[in-house]
Amino acid sequence: MSVYTTLTLTEVQDFSSPYGLEVIDLIPIQGGIQNTNYFLVTKDGSQFVLTVFEEMDEHGAGELVPVLEHLGKAGLAVPVPLNHSGKSIHSLKNKPAQIAPRMMGEHPMPSTIEQVKQIAIAQAKMHVALKDFPLERAEYRDQAYWAKVTQELKPNLDVADKILLGELLGLYEALTAAYPNRPKGFIHSDLFRDNTLFEGDQLKGILDFYELNKDELLFDIAITLNDFCTEYPDVHLNEDKAVAFLTAYETVRPLTEDERACLEIYLAMAAGRFWMMRLQVAQKNAAEGRTGDDILQKNPLEMRNMLIERLKFVTA
């Protein structure tokens, strides 16, 4: 993640000591846009990840812990936070923070067909495992949320972008009205390649569950398929990888006929959501004066270009 909260080694040592960790080094992690993260190296050579939650309170950060524990028991490679004094979330510089084991591996850049299959199977297993999970989050970033964000950003968009959004939303409303059988459940919402770790073709870790959200499963599929099956800066979809993804996913959870009918508009909508998210982050960084090498700001135009490309294949 970007580094918004600067920490010293002494501060981290004091925080990590109750966990039984003897930290000798900390390394800021660049990448991502929401929380502050550091790699921690302990005296025995073990490595961990310290996360400082920039926008969540203790309750919001802590509600993810049982989710990760549940997924770990279901056999998914997720980082289950450490615990001391009966809880995983503690305070650091007046912000919620946690420590979890560092999962080793590399982001799949570019992805292989086998890596695409592996993440699709894992995502389907996650959807099944969380189907009836008893959790209520304070806020859900569903379509109503993104419609609100779009309205807030719209006055600052040029005419062409307003027309583009109008076309996207019109097609989405028409197709989802015609094909209503689209299951909902808890989804990762941010399962990009840079939130996964592989050793060769073997999936070793799924990271960054802070956007966990109750929404349509098809959005999660579209988000991950878009990223794993695209090689930036080219935004064209690799059809062989896309077919491999969907075939692998359906070995665990078959799609409904309505999900299949809506897949293309959801690929476009997923690109549209992340276009809005990146514009929102850029606006917030500018308003709060967040600048410098430790602040990562992803390019909104990348997602805008993907949206235009995906819309070519949508028919109402």
pLDDT digits (tens, 9 = 90+) for 204-213: 999 989 889 9
Note the pLDDT of residue 206.
Answer: 97
Q: How far apart are CA 62 and CA 124, in angstroms?
A: 24
Q: Does domain 9-101 have CATH number 3.40.50.11540?
A: no
Q: Over pLDDT 90: what percentage of the chain?
A: 73
pLDDT single digits (tens) 186-199: 999 999 999 999 99
Read off the pLDDT of each residue in 265-291 and give the average, rounded to a whole number.
Answer: 82
Q: How far apart are CA 56 and CA 96, in angstroms?
A: 7
For the chain, which residues make up each domain, given as ranges? 9-101, 113-311
pTM: 0.87
- Distance from first CA to last CA of the chain, Å, rounded? 38
Note the pLDDT of residue 244.
Answer: 98
Q: Candidates 3.90.1200.10, 1.10.10.10, 3.30.2010.10, 3.30.70.1290; correct CATH number of 113-311? A: 3.90.1200.10
Q: How far apart are CA 224 and CA 216, in angstroms?
A: 13
Q: How far apart are CA 21 and CA 17, in angstroms?
A: 5
* CB contact at 8 A, 239 and 226: no
* CB contact at 8 A, 276 and 198: no
